[in-house]
Structure 1
């Protein structure tokens, strides 16, 4: 069975919108907020998480943004990996997946992800999508979460863990502070949320 890894650039206040540039979302006022904090350690962490080969799990908006950029990039291992990966897309318009190889997850996203995970192939990488993330966590489909937390407060924007995210606990399995101030942390889902009270007897 394939593993599914969620990778995300995230601000201190949880925003993930348009991290790489203003063109990613022309309506967002702070596009490109990761750029001033570029750091080789971030690239190394991404490469390690991707492994030697991977396929992509993408929401429709992320797919559309990336399909307008990555096919035009002809040089570099990242472009080759992303363009060559099979893209499994949550979409109601499967006939418009021009950046291939690509497949629709189907009408039932949970069933579609389970189907893909059960096939032979490389690990699946999810980038972006505040919509897909809570669904994957709720149904126990995410195996790993890699967060690159940037030392910025954005105030507004789409958040990675949206209001629909189910209560869960994550186990920290690795963390590193980059020279730029970015905190790179890897988590694995570890079960339902536990609660308690400091007033309870030991």
Structure 2
């Protein structure tokens, strides 16, 4: 069965955005310092065939990624060519520039993702989309967490893990450290 992987950037104080909903704590990393994590991300993209996005994350991504080139962002072509599903009950279409359009999935996202996990294929990744991520956590559908721990404090903001989360333990799969001070942590369900 294919895995569902959540990959999120998170501050040292546990937030995925600051108090104003901004992502500046991780978007200020320079391209030169980030080149090693980009190469790792490109390898990661080879292991997936589906990118899952909520509507808000789709709207953030579509403003940048379809126009990015691999000269600007190492992962651009691979990310753009990978199939995308947008979970939304409010939009009808999800264009992706000159690339194939993302498919819009309406209705119960949790049930749709449960079904997707049972189908053949490579792994799937969910980026951003915190409301969807938290709903999937509640249903224990996440197989791996990829956390990009950033050397910054936001002083508040939105948390990745809801306060009412139940006790769970995970096994450490991998740790990588980058020149930016970001530490990549990969955790999987205990077997």
TM-score class, shorter-chain normalisation, is 0.7 to 0.9
Equivalent position of 1:172 in the other structure: 172
In 1, the alpha carbon distance for the partners of 2:16 and 2:8 equals 7
Is residue 79 from structure 1 mapped to residue 76 from structure 2 by the alignment? yes
| Higher mean C-alpha deviation, range 100-109 or range 58-67 | 100-109
- Within 1, Cα distance between the matches of 2:137 and 2:180? 30
Contact 2:17 2:154 in 1 (8 A): no
Task: Pick which of 179-188 and 114-123 moved more.
Answer: 114-123
Deviation for aligned residue 1:80:
1.5
Aligned to 2:85: 88
Alignment correspondent of 2:35? 40
**Cα deviation per residue 1:107-163 (whole Å; 9 max; x = unaligned)?**
111110012222233221111122122222222221111111011101132222133
Residue pair 2:38, 2:75 contacting (<8 A) in 1 also: no
CA contact (8 A) 1:60 1:89 kept: yes
Alignment of 1:152-167 (within 5 A): 152-167=152-167
Q: Find the residue that maps to 2:145 and give its secondary structure.
A: strand
Cα shift at 1:165: 3.3
Task: Extract unaligned runs of 5+ from structure 1.
Answer: 19-26, 192-202
The structure with the largest alpha-carbon Rg is: 1
Shift, 1:28, TM fit: 4.3
- Structure 1 runs (4+) deviating above 6 angstroms are none
Partner residue of 1:65?
60
Q: Could you tell me how far apart the structure 2 residues matched to 1:29 and 1:106 are?
A: 27
Distance (whole Å) between structure 2 residues aligned to residue 54 and residue 105 of structure 1: 17
Look up the SS of the partner of 1:173 in the other structure. Answer: strand
The count of residues paired between Structure 1 and Structure 2 equals: 183
Call closer, same or farther: CA 1:151–1:167 in 2, change over 3 Å.
Answer: same
Residues 1:120 and 1:30: Cα distance change in structure 2 (over 3 Å): closer
Query: Cα RMSD (Å) of the superposition?
Result: 2.4
Q: CA separation of 1:8/1:119 partners in 2, compared to 1, >3 Å: closer, same or farther?
A: same
Deviations 1:161-198 (A, max 9, x none): 1334333212111112223322111100228xxxxxxx
Q: Which deviates the most, 177-186 or 140-149?
A: 177-186
Could you list the runs of 5+ residues in structure 2 that have no partner in the other structure? none
